């Protein structure tokens, strides 16, 4: 038991503070990425009232604009993780909508497993799957289209902004890999 508890004490050092330049580029990328999602939502599809902005995109912004070297932030993970998780979430909702606790639990767990198996692990994908289960009736009404709009389209918008902004400074390079 002591050995198990001892594992929880950590032991490593906290990462060093990032440079002001890194803070600036992370800020600018995330600002422009979320602003682009808002623009696309209000200008392009506002009539449908199914917006491009889902909560998990805030977490994706942290990864693709502030942790750009992480394997979890790469394009394959960003787009693939979100889309696969959305599909799993819709499936679980449609299969188990009478038992939301089970649908939600299964959606998150299965999306994690699928992302692992497909090498598309992107932590916000778990939230994308959960949103598919606990979202509004309008979101449920669009069914699997959720994986394309808002999820796929939104992830692509975040990716395009990440490609543009993250490669402006000489000391930043994004992505590290595509596939």
Tens digits of residue pLDDT in 120-130: 999 999 999 99
Q: How confident is the model at residue 46 (pLDDT cuts 50, 70, 90)?
A: very low
Which single residue is written with the structure tokens 């950590």? Answer: 10
Tens digits of residue pLDDT in 92-120: 999 999 999 999 999 999 999 999 999 99
> pTM above 0.95?
no
Tally: H helices and E strands in the chain: 9, 0
Give residues with Cβ within 8 angstroms of 155, minimum separation 6.
57, 60, 78, 79, 82, 83
Which single residue is written with the structure tokens 């490669």? Answer: 167
Other C-beta atoms closer than 10 Å to the C-beta of 27 total 12
């Amino acid at each position: 038991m002591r050995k198990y508890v001892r594992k929880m004490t950590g032991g490593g050092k906290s990462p060093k503070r990032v440079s002001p330049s890194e803070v600036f580029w992370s800020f600018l990328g995330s600002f422009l990425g979320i602003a682009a999602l808002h623009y696309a939502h209000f200008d392009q599809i506002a009539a449908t009232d199914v917006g491009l902005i889902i909560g998990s995109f805030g977490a994706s912004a942290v990864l693709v604009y502030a942790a750009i070297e992480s394997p979890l932030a790469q394009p394959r993970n960003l787009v693939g993780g979100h889309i696969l998780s959305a599909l799993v979430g819709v499936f679980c909702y449609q299969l188990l909508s009478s038992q939301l606790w089970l649908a939600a639990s299964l959606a998150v767990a299965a999306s994690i497993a699928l992302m692992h198996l497909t090498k598309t692990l992107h932590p916000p994908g778990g939230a994308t799957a959960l949103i598919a289960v606990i979202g509004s009736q309008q979101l449920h009404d669009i069914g699997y289209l959720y994986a394309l709009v808002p999820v796929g389209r939104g992830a692509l918008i975040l990716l395009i902004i990440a490609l543009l902004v993250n490669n402006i400074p000489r000391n930043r390079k994004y992505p590290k890999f595509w596939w």
